Amino acid sequence: MELKANDMYRIECQDSISANELFSLSVLYAPFLSSLATQLYCYLVAEANQSVVALPHERICTILNANIVDVENARGQLEEVLLLKTYYRQQNEVDYYIYQVVMPLLPKDFLKHDVFGRMYAQAVGLQQYEITKQMCIHPDEQKENFVDVSKPFQNRFLSSWNQQKEQEFHRVRPSFEQTNEISDLQINFDYDAFLQDLSFLAVPASARSKQSLKVIGELATIYGIEPKRMGVLVSRCINLKDKTLDEQKLRSRCRSEKSAYVNPNTPKTKYDVAPVQFLKNIQNGVTVTAADTKLLEDLVRNMKLSPSVVNVLVEYVLNTYDMKLSRSVTEKIAASWVRLHIDSVEDALTLIQSQSVKKKTVKEKPLPQWYSEQQEVSSNDEDKEALLRSIRNKEGGF
């Protein structure tokens, strides 16, 4: 299969590269890799922790200043030395690739490797092999008697910078003043399908930041909105001035959306659907009110309960309180579940069952002693009255 610039890719990397692994890449793997292959590996490692969606290979070509053929050849070099695994899928005439980055072997492991050790010795010669081996064994030499002769930083790369580029830079520059809080919500959203045919004219790159994509995924999970429809909603919520996503406007549109979409890859139980859709099912398809919709969103976003746990909570409240979904009652129960660390359907159902068992096994409190004594006194008084009536009847008979 021929790699094309519009083919999509996504990166998987389980760890960040360490100093020793970087040494292996730069010194040990270097004889078997072109400079572009090394650049490509570094790029994949760097972007793996920043990107959560599929992107076109055109991005790699632009950043590495290479054509698609050279990128494909560089990828092949990484695969040959086991630094990269490539997975392929074709869908709707678009090719998708998943690049699974493998960390380099540590220096000692590389040199002792039956294959890589011999390859390295043959590539650089035994003398360089011995030098490299000594580097891996001995600590770095102290630099007390050395002088720093490094060239100073030069800003020649910005010689063509102008005011227009400065304005564009401020528009797309990431803001680190925003909170870095990571939501505990398990997002159930197909980002690949969402971005597949999404035009950059409708949703520009500045509206596809990591924060914006997280919000989009959260809202799709809460309200059960399919990827294609979410693309339409997002395109209608772009700020025309700065080309960013208006999150409040998107939330408002999602709340009024009457969606019946259920992700076919997720449901395992009746609770594994979007909370709004779950409540709608309980109401026999009747649209959920704005107040209830806002409550469900707050339970997920603010109380940090998973959507499936929220569904169990909603069912419990409705069954317990005559099908009334009171905000105050629901939030109190939700707060107790948060304190009890209820984070799965199984935990929630177990808690409800244990509370039900406790209510059934509550023993009746024994009556106070004074009540029993009063009953005995009352009984004695009644016996005396009966005896007096009997005596009077007998006397009246003489």
The answer to whether the beta carbons of residues 239 and 204 sit under 8 Å apart is no
Is 8-137 assigned to CATH 1.10.10?
yes
Please report the sign of the dihedral spanned by the C-alpha atoms of residue 164, residue 166, residue 168, residue 171.
negative
pLDDT of res. 182: 38
Give every residue of the chain whose pLDDT is below 50, as ranges: 174-183, 398
What's the pLDDT score for residue 29? 93
Report the pLDDT value the prediction gives residue 135, as an integer from 0 to 100.
79
> Taking the model in full, what pTM does it have?
0.42
The full set of domain ranges for the chain reads: 8-137, 191-255, 270-398
Give the C-alpha distances (Å, rounded to integers) separating 288 from 59, 72, 278, 279.
42, 51, 10, 7
The per-residue pLDDT for 158 is 56
Q: Provide the pLDDT for residue 71.
A: 93
Task: Identify the pLDDT of residue 35.
Answer: 93
Residues counted in the chain: 398
Predicted local distance difference test score (pLDDT) of residue 375: 54
Buried b (16+ CB within 10 A) or exposed e, 293-316: bebbbbbbbebebbbbbbbbbbbb
Predicted confidence at residue 376, as pLDDT, reads 55
**Ramachandran region, residue 360 (left: φ > 0; alpha: ψ -120 to 50; beta: rest):** alpha
pLDDT at res. 222: 82
